[in-house]
Structure 1
Amino acid sequence: MNDEHKAHAESGTYAECVLCREPTEYPASRKGITLCPVCEWQEAQRNACSG
Structure 2
Amino acid sequence: MDDPYCVGQSPTPAKAAAEGPFAECVLCREPTEYPESTKGSTLCPVCAWHEAQRTACSG
- TM-score using structure 2 length: 0.64
Structure 1: distance between partners of 2:23 and 2:56: 25
1:41 alignment counterpart: 49
Q: Which is helix-richer, 1 or 2? A: 1
Task: State the 4+ residue runs in structure 1 displaced beyond 6 angstroms.
Answer: none
Are 2:36 and 1:28 equivalent residues in the alignment?
A: yes
Gaps of 5+ in 2: 1-14
2:20 alignment counterpart: 12
Q: Once the 2 structures are TM-superposed, how far is the Cα of residue 12 of structure 1 from its aligned partner? A: 2.4
Structure 2: distance between partners of 1:49 and 1:14: 29
**RMSD, aligned α-carbons:** 1.9
- TM-score using structure 1 length: 0.73
